Amino acid sequence: EDQVTQSPEALRLQEGESSSLNCSYTVSGLRGLFWYRQDPGKGPEFLFTLYSAGEEKEKERLKATLTKKESFLHITAPKPEDSATYLCAVQNAGNMLTFGGGTRLMVKP
């Protein structure tokens, strides 16, 4: 059974304080690892897909990296508007997504 564990569950940062969110996974035949951002009362917004260990992707203040066991979402100099829940999901060989519990990020000005 595929499993995804995200840590921490919640993270409070001061504006400008860089940090990383972790996503540990076990999956049968990884086809892709996805990061989404979800704001309260809204659907998840697609951020990145990573396909193989060693791959990195960046978008503004976010950078996602992938190893064979985990992925990190690095947030550099976050701003209050980065506050959201960040979801990690793995897609297995059968194309099914398994989500982690998410990390609630709060960035204070």
Partner 1 sequence: GAVVSQHPSRVICKSGTSVKIECRSLDFQATTMFWYRQFPKQSLMLMATSNEGSKATYEQGVEKDKFLINHASLTLSTLTVTSAHPEDSSFYICSARTVGGGLKETQYFGPGTRLLVL
Under a CB-based contact definition with an 8 Å cutoff, are residues 36 and 28 in contact?
Answer: no
- Alpha-carbon span 3 to 30, nearest angstrom: 12
Reduced to 3 states, what is the DSSP secondary structure of residue 66?
strand
Min separation Cβ 14 and partner 1, Å? 23
- Token couple for 67: 């190893």
- Alpha-carbon span 28 to 62, nearest angstrom: 27
Q: Is 25 in the site for partner 1 (CB under 8 A)?
A: no
Reduced to 3 states, what is the DSSP secondary structure of residue 87?
strand
Q: Is 41 in the site for partner 1 (CB under 8 A)?
A: yes
Q: Is 44 in the site for partner 1 (CB under 8 A)?
A: yes
Stretch that binds partner 1, among 16-24, 58-66, 73-81, 88-96 (CB under 8 A): 88-96
Among 15, 45, 56, 58, binds partner 1 (CB under 8 A): 45
Q: Is 101 in the site for partner 1 (CB under 8 A)?
A: yes
Rg (Cα) of the chain, in Å, rounded?
A: 13
Among 23, 71, 102, 107, binds partner 1 (CB under 8 A): 102
- What residue ranges bind partner 1 (CB under 8 A)? 31-32, 34, 36, 41-46, 49, 87, 91, 95-97, 99-102, 104
